[in-house]
Structure 1
Amino acid sequence: MLLILCATSSISNAQLKRFSIGPFVEAGFPVGDMKDVYNTGYGIGLGADIKLIAGLGVTGSVSYMRFGGKSFDVPGVGSAKYDALNAVPVRLGLKYKFLPLLYLKAEGGVANITGDNKTTAAIFSPGLGLRVLGFDLQAKYEMWFKDGNMSFFGLKAGWNF
């Protein structure tokens, strides 16, 4: 009986939380021109949510992502490989919970590209997510704008405290 009361109490307190923070992992699957140059990307980061009113919230994250470069053939020379793309995306956005477990999200921000080609790209990223207690799973489409654009479909899984 005591165990049931403790579990019920922690679940009800979790529903009243207005702020959460936690780690996540993500994978990015390049599309368009980006697909010709880069392999699947992987990342790790830290995200936070602040609940506002009526299902609306503010969200933000900072992460590190790496897309490996693809190999290509150079006629008469052999093969070569594109450099990897390493970036630190910083995103801020709005999140709207339209069903008890499902939400829509739109984020913007900057991707700080590191390495030899240091630059900054603007980010726009709409997504659809599922949050069950502290577990958060999201599908998104992310675009990075800098002298054209780079786009990828992403999957993101995290835990919020």
Structure 2
Amino acid sequence: MKRNILAFIAVMLTVCIGAQQSQAQLKRFSIGPYVEAGFPTGDFSNSHKPGFGVGLGADVKLVAGLTAVGSVGFMYFKGKTDNNINYASAKVIPVRLGLRYTLVSILYVKAEGGTVNFTGDYNNGTGALFAPGIGIRLLGLDVEGKYEAWFKDGTHGFWGLKAGYNF
């Protein structure tokens, strides 16, 4: 987990340094907090209730319409009790990197990949993630609908709604 966070910080510092050099022309770098809600699907919905998360996201404009994005956060899904089986709550730290492409002025599509670190008693360890999404961004407000899948000992997927503000 520490390697993932350190790698993310190193990438973000590199991006910040590059973005500072181009600040004189246009605002090419933004960073800000986000909140998200997740609604489990498949087997994950049998063992866990809807969850929520918080985090910090950043982006850097590359070329017309294309933006590099990244985020690190925390997600929590409370475990269910089913047939006298108590499922442990999922506490997860996702680290995502990806690309966003602007289709028309405020509408975009996005694809992210990365790592997910399961903490606590549920499925402890590190896995991979993939998260395609579609959203709108108006000024600093960013609202996205997505599907996110975590791959470790099976697939843990959920539909999500993410809202954030970038400075």
Give the structure-1-normalised TM-score: 0.85
What is residue 132 of structure 1 aligned with on the other side?
138
Deviations 1:57-104 (A, max 9, x none): 100000000000011123xxxxx4211000000000000001000110
Unpaired stretches in structure 2, ≥5 consecutive residues: 1-22
How many residue pairs were aligned?
A: 142
What is residue 66 of structure 1 aligned with on the other side?
76
Unpaired stretches in structure 1, ≥5 consecutive residues: 1-12, 75-79
Query: Cα distance, 1:40 vs. partner?
Result: 0.4
Letter in 1 for 2:73: S
Q: 1:30 aligns with which of 28, 35, 40?
A: 40
Q: Does 1:105 align with 2:91?
A: no
Distance in 2 between residues matched to 1:29 and 1:121, nearest whole Å: 19
Distance in 1 between residues matched to 2:33 and 2:40, nearest whole Å: 23
What is residue 81 of structure 1 aligned with on the other side?
86
Over the residues paired in the alignment, what is the CA RMSD in angstroms?
1.2
Query: Cα distance, 1:36 vs. partner?
Result: 0.2
Letter in 1 for 2:158: F
Q: 2:159 aligns with which of 145, 153, 159?
A: 153
Identity %: 57
Distance in 1 between residues matched to 2:68 and 2:90, nearest whole Å: 28
Match of 1:34, SS state, is helix
Query: Cα distance, 1:147 vs. partner?
Result: 2.0
Letter in 1 for 2:140: G
Deviations 1:45-65 (A, max 9, x none): 000010010100100000000
Q: Does 1:141 align with 2:151?
A: no
Distance in 2 between residues matched to 1:146 and 1:92, nearest whole Å: 18
Query: Cα distance, 1:124 vs. partner?
Result: 0.4
Letter in 2 for 1:152: F
Q: Does 1:39 align with 2:49?
A: yes
Distance in 2 between residues matched to 1:73 and 1:112, nearest whole Å: 28
Distance in 2 between residues matched to 1:136 and 1:151, nearest whole Å: 22
Letter in 2 for 1:66: Y
Larger C-alpha radius of gyration, 1 or 2? 1
The structure 1 segments of at least 4 consecutive aligned residues displaced by more than 2 Å after TM superposition are none
